[in-house]
Amino acid sequence: MDTHEFAERIFLNLPYDPNSQQIQLIAALARFCSPTANSDSVFLLNGYAGTGKTSLTGALVRALREAGVPVVLMAPTGRAAKVFGAFARYPATTIHRRIYRGTEGGLMAYAGEVADNTFQNAVFIVDEASMIGESGVDDGGLRRNLLEDLLHYVYSGVGCRMLLLGDTAQLPPVGCDESPAMNPAVLRSYGLKVTRVVMTEVVRQGRRSGILYNATWLRKAMLRSPLPEPKLAIDRFSDVVSVPGEELQDAISASYDEYGIGETLMITRSNRRAVQFNLAIRANILYKEEELTRDERLMVAKNNYLWSAKVKGLDFVANGDIAIVEHIYGTEERYGFRFADVTLNLPDRDISFDCKILLDTLTSEAPALERERFAALYDRLLNDADLFTPSTPLKARMKILRSDPYLNAIQVKYAYAVTCHKAQGGQWQSVFVDLGYVPDDAYGMEFYRWLYTATTRATRRLAFVNPDTGAISIDD
């Protein structure tokens, strides 16, 4: 199949007639996927909200499969992988599950050893690539460079190449000023030839959406210098509303009734505000009096590799994963911390497993267990006379603690209200965006990216909470 025929196949798999920008993109993708194209090339597709990136990528996946070309779909988180697989109508996995090799006993290597890529002439497509960091993450005591490991894995395969999908207007990875995976210069520094296409034209359906109208205005405003005062279009569209603070409880309750708890989310700017909202929602809307109940919705606060070791299809429990408590077997206090033995269900992957969770992080205002407190837990375990004899060598103790259930208890938070970084990569039908207490001088690029990312988490209804602040003007 030549390049022209493959482009026609992509076109026929689209559910609508493409605009001129999308036609040019289809031609570029057909050239990139051609067997004659350089295998050391990467395609960088930066698609803003409402530009049709999702539909076009789905059409590409179906065209590749019809042409007999191996295709592999990946995303940074379990929720993002589920969303990606749904619109592409083809299974997607997390990046970690695909590229890292397991170790003895089934545990994922803390060293993050990169697996062998056994594919030949495959096209790897990675969604939400703007979330991929380059500076490394600290899990199990060793830092890894996820972007470097991803590139090493893909391009070690014979004739393999990669398409990175992302949105540079969204928040970059924590600690980064911009997303390295969306930066052509960074990718070229790894020896790759970069083709970059930026989709900016909102498709016809999107022009009727208030969610996409606001997202598009914010994205365009980010290109202006100096940055203008943020402006929101509220109540002009049926899918965007404003909610005063005194009406928030009723609004969230109504959203739970209409869309369900699992499809309703409050997004706020800080962990402290998230804790306050979570406690208020549990007490005043869900009428939960106990600290933890069955059907509790939790969000994982840090990657965890221990409890997934014996669970088929579960590579690891990821930071940001949503989990539902199915059973509570008991709680205990030990080493100065509180724990619970539970069965968790990951609805995004429809997997249930038994584990131990750390209760101390539920209402902590830190993103996860503070480093000092984790060090204190580690020290108490390391010197536990019930676990070790005085003659047990330090190296042996440390090895045993790598699989200790208390040290590796899953760190969780309530999941009714979260920070924007925790929500990134997922979408919900109904989203409430907390704009209360935004200072007048807050509207720098970081705030714009935060507001854009929060806005684009909603698919059907977007509610701005307390938007009448001095930092934001309302365009009715």
Question: Reduced to 3 states, what is the DSSP secondary structure of residue 450?
Answer: helix
| Residue 327, beta-bridge partner list | 343
Q: Tell me how far apart the alpha carbons of residues 47 and 414 are, in angstroms, rounded to a whole number.
A: 32
| Least confident interval from 12-16, 89-93, 108-112 | 108-112
Angle of helix 371-382 versus helix 394-401 axis, rounded to 10: 120
Residues 131 and 246 occupy one common structural domain: no
Q: Is residue 316 part of a domain?
A: yes
Cβ–Cβ under 8 Å, residues 233 and 215: no
53-99 confidence digits (pLDDT tens): 888 999 999 999 999 999 999 998 877 888 888 889 999 988 988 99
Residues 48 and 151 occupy one common structural domain: yes
Cβ–Cβ under 8 Å, residues 272 and 365: yes
Residues 130 and 157 occupy one common structural domain: yes
Residues 156 and 238 occupy one common structural domain: no
Residues 252 and 270 occupy one common structural domain: yes
Question: How many independent structural domains does the chain possess?
Answer: 3
- In SS3 terms, 204-262 reads as HHHHHCHHHHHHHHHHHHCCCCCCCCCEECCCCCCCEEEECHHHHHHHHHHHHHHHCHH
Domain stop point among 147, 173, 204: 204
Q: Is residue 294 part of a domain?
A: no
Residues 38 and 180 occupy one common structural domain: yes
Domain stop point among 382, 414, 446: 414
Q: Is residue 263 part of a domain?
A: yes
The parent domain of residue 387 ranges over 300-414
pLDDT tops 60 at residue 470? no
Q: Helix count (H) and strand count (E) of the chain? A: 14, 20
Give residue 140's pLDDT band: very low, low, confident or very high (50, 70, 90).
Answer: very low
Q: Is residue 291 part of a domain?
A: no
Q: Residue 456: which CATH number?
A: 3.40.50.300
Q: What are the structure tokens assigned to 384, written together?
A: 């536990």
Question: Among 49, 83, 75, which residue's Cα sits nearest to residue 168?
Answer: 49
Residues 409 and 426 occupy one common structural domain: no
Predicted pLDDT of residue 409: 97
398-436 confidence digits (pLDDT tens): 888 989 999 999 999 999 999 998 898 888 999 999 998
The sheet carrying 92-94 orders its strands as 92-94, 71-75, 123-126, 161-166, 41-47, 193-199
Q: Is residue 292 part of a domain?
A: no
Residues 231 and 380 occupy one common structural domain: no
pTM: 0.86
Q: Is residue 469 part of a domain?
A: yes
Residues 440 and 344 occupy one common structural domain: no
Domain stop point among 204, 235, 259: 204
Burial group, residue 105, by CB count within 10 angstroms (0-12, 13-18, 19+): exposed
Q: Tell me how far apart the alpha carbons of residues 306 and 12 are, in angstroms, rounded to a whole number.
A: 45
pLDDT tops 70 at residue 10? yes
Residues 349 and 315 occupy one common structural domain: yes
Residues 87 and 22 occupy one common structural domain: yes
Residues 42 and 125 occupy one common structural domain: yes
